Amino acid sequence: MHHVSIKTADIHQAIAFYECLGFEVCTRFTAGITLACWMEGLDGRIELMQVPEPRPAIDAFVDEHYTGYYHLSFDMTTQTRSLSTWIQDLQTKVSNSGGQLRVLLEPQQQQIGDDVYEVAFLADTDGLPLEFIRRLETGEEHGR
């Protein structure tokens, strides 16, 4: 996949937020009359596009009847040993940049197939759900 495109009400706030996640702006450009950029980080690329007259987005995380794109998911297995600690550190970074971190789902364990994961959901500056997932090592899920 080349990139995922995200429409935002305020590209400068969105850039600051995604920089806190570890993304860096690699290309700035315009798309028609709007500001846009590509950012790279967490083993992927996103495109941010500022919407000139934004409307509130549907809350895909809460609306159980919503269909369509739901969330972006980032594999944090090699990035951190604990999503709880990572989120605490991220909270500080976001606060220091003048933003506020919204946690949609605190880190919890989830079994998917034969594997156990630590999973958490955060919202970006426009409310887009972002999943952070970390595969647990054998025995780690039992606190060993």
For the chain, the average pLDDT equals 93
Residue 141: what pLDDT? Answer: 65
Residue extents of the structural domains in the chain: 4-52+69-136
Within 13 A of 36's CA, how many CA atoms are on the CB side?
A: 15
**Whole-prediction pTM:** 0.91
pLDDT of 76 > 80? The answer is yes
Q: What is the pLDDT of residues 13-68, one digit of tens each?
A: 999 999 999 999 999 999 888 999 999 999 999 999 999 999 988 888 999 998 98
1 versus 106: the higher-pLDDT residue is 106
What CATH number is given for 4-52+69-136 in this structure?
3.10.180.10
